[in-house]
Amino acid sequence: MSRVRIASDIMVTKLATVTPDTDVFEAIANLLKQNFTAAPVLDEKGNYLAVFSERPCLSVMMAVARAAGEDKIREAHLPSAKDVMAKNLVTITPDDDVFDAIALLLQRRISGAPVLDSNGRFLGSFSEMTSMKVLLDAAYQQMPTGRVRSFINPDRERIISEDLGLLEIAQKFLDTRYRRLPVLRGETLVGQISRRDVLRTAQTVYATKPNRLDAWREWLTGTSTVRATERTHVSAYMDTTAPTITGDTDVLRIAHIFQQTSTRRLPVVEDGKLMGQVSRRDLLYAINDLIAYSPKRENTLLYLSSLDHAGPPIR
């Protein structure tokens, strides 16, 4: 049971990184190409500086749109949720075992799934974020298992309609911490749209054009003559406040940080140097493996509760 205790046991060391001077549109393209949601930002000496993620990518889109003005945006006829949403979704039920639900997320390599009742009515979402609460409750309360219904995020603010426009969707992602928005028709789930779906829609338009900024302007406004922000480097959009951890941070402290912040990945930094990175999924894989190889699930949860909790979560 001692083989997974701290960040250095579960961190990933082969990472895609960017520099502050990387063109922001190139950085967005690389994130999408490699199917990453974020990349650490390093200076020319390899020192860790910040994180560049999907969320500020949406800020780039909104900056271009704001420079265009409402009239130009209306003329561009941008797609709506129904045009870009995913329709073939993995769903779970409120009576599913929480650890089975976590295993399903890992197996399908998805960060969350809608929860539907027996009549197909949307109840909320179960995600990597809510999985952190499962782990913490299991550790501190020695809860051997539970049902998904106790860990549903029922927030109605995340729900959108099929007709919501792409820029309104992007703004909703900027206004909330969510990575996916369920699309409902009445109380029936008809699809789901993610931050990545929005960015991929833009990617298909501008990827073939030599000047990506001009391509985005033309796509969003119908013309390439609109003058948008001149800040086209990663340095203008990177997050210098994103939390970091060290190699000896234990798994429960990591779970605390993931639950209390919107971050999905924690850079592991020692003496200013990037050593690796731990994602929510990395943590869930580690715990899921312990449960899979343990004769009794309770043994793993007792192991979690025995960890040394050294102080409050890192910020």
pLDDT digits (tens, 9 = 90+) for 104-134: 999 999 999 999 999 989 999 999 988 888 8
pLDDT of residue 71: 62
C-alpha dihedral (133, 137, 138, 144), degrees to nearest 10: -110
146 near 91, Cβ under 8 Å? no
Give the model confidence (pLDDT) of 154-198 as tens digits. Answer: 988 899 999 999 889 999 999 988 899 999 998 899 999 999 999
Q: Which of 128, 187, 190, 119 is nearest to 153 (CA)?
A: 128
- Domains of the chain (ranges; CATH) run 81-203 (3.10.580.10)
Torsion over CA: 158, 163, 166, 171 (sign): negative
Q: Say if residue 314's pLDDT is above 50.
A: no
Lowest mean pLDDT segment, chosen from 63-77, 144-158, 192-206: 63-77
Answer with the residue of higher pLDDT: 311 or 155.
155
CB distance 215 to 221 below 8 Å: no
> What's residue 288's pLDDT?
76
**Alpha-carbon gap, residue 218 to 223, rounded angstroms:** 4
**Whether residue 277 has pLDDT greater than 90:** yes
Q: What is the mean pLDDT of residues 84-94?
A: 95
Round to whole Å and give the CA distance between 115 and 122.
Answer: 6
According to the model, what pLDDT value does residue 308 have? Answer: 46
| Range 271-297 average pLDDT | 80
The mean predicted confidence, pLDDT, of the chain is 82
φ, ψ dihedrals at 276, nearest 5° = 175, -165
- Report the C-alpha gap between 240 and 162 in whole angstroms: 35
pLDDT at 257: 94
User: DSSP letter string over 229-265?
Assistant: -S--BGGGT-BTT---B-TT-BHHHHHHHHHHSS-SE
Average pLDDT of the residues in 52-79: 74
Percent of the chain beyond pLDDT 90? 45
Q: How many CB atoms lie within 10 A of CB 83?
A: 12
What separation, in Å, do the N-terminal and C-terminal C-alpha atoms of the chain show?
A: 28
Over residues 265-287, the mean pLDDT reads: 93
